[in-house]
Amino acid sequence: MNSTEFQDKTKRLGLHVIRFVEILPQNYTSRVIVNQILRCALSVGANYRAVCRAKSDKDFINKMKIVEEECDETIYWLEIIEESGLAKIEVVTPLKREAKEILAMIIASINTMSKNLKSKKSEI
């Protein structure tokens, strides 16, 4: 998957979460959780766009770690929503699967770049 395709994938996660939160109950607890999950889910795509403008390999890794944190936080809030009963498991499960897939790709990318960076240093 190239960076443009991954940008689209991370944006879709944000859009899916936007649609998802609209079905949650309208109460204080939901409002707090909605604010949190929207912030982090939308941040995944926004911060990945910043990754695409990284100025160095180290900058790439640092920016990707931010994306990793935001994606993991998105998964956390989805688990909270699921375990609290605010939404049905069958509605939350596809979103969690999507976020976990993105997280796995982010981690793999960080690991690959870290290995490449180490091998560049050993060549010097």
Alpha carbons 117 and 56: distance in angstroms, whole number: 10
User: What does DSSP assign to residue 52?
Assistant: T
- Give me the numbers of helices (H) and strands (E) for the chain, helices first please: 4, 0
Rounded to the nearest integer, the mean pLDDT of the chain is 96
Confidence label for 111 from pLDDT (cuts 50, 70 and 90): very high
Half-sphere exposure of 111 (CA within 13 A, CB side): 6
pLDDT of residue 103: 98
* pLDDT above 90: residue 122: no
User: Per-residue pLDDT tens for 46-102?
Assistant: 999 999 999 999 999 999 999 999 999 999 999 999 999 999 999 999 999 999 999
What does pTM read for this prediction? 0.93
CA distances in angstroms from 86 to 43, 53, 109, listed in the order given: 23, 38, 33
Q: What is the mean pLDDT of residues 37-47?
A: 98
Determine whether 77 is exposed, middle or buried from the number of CB atoms within 10 Å of its CB (0-12, 13-18, 19+): buried
- Looking at this protein, which amino acid is placed at residue 36? Q
Q: Name the residue among 123, 5, 10 with its Cα closest to residue 66.
A: 10
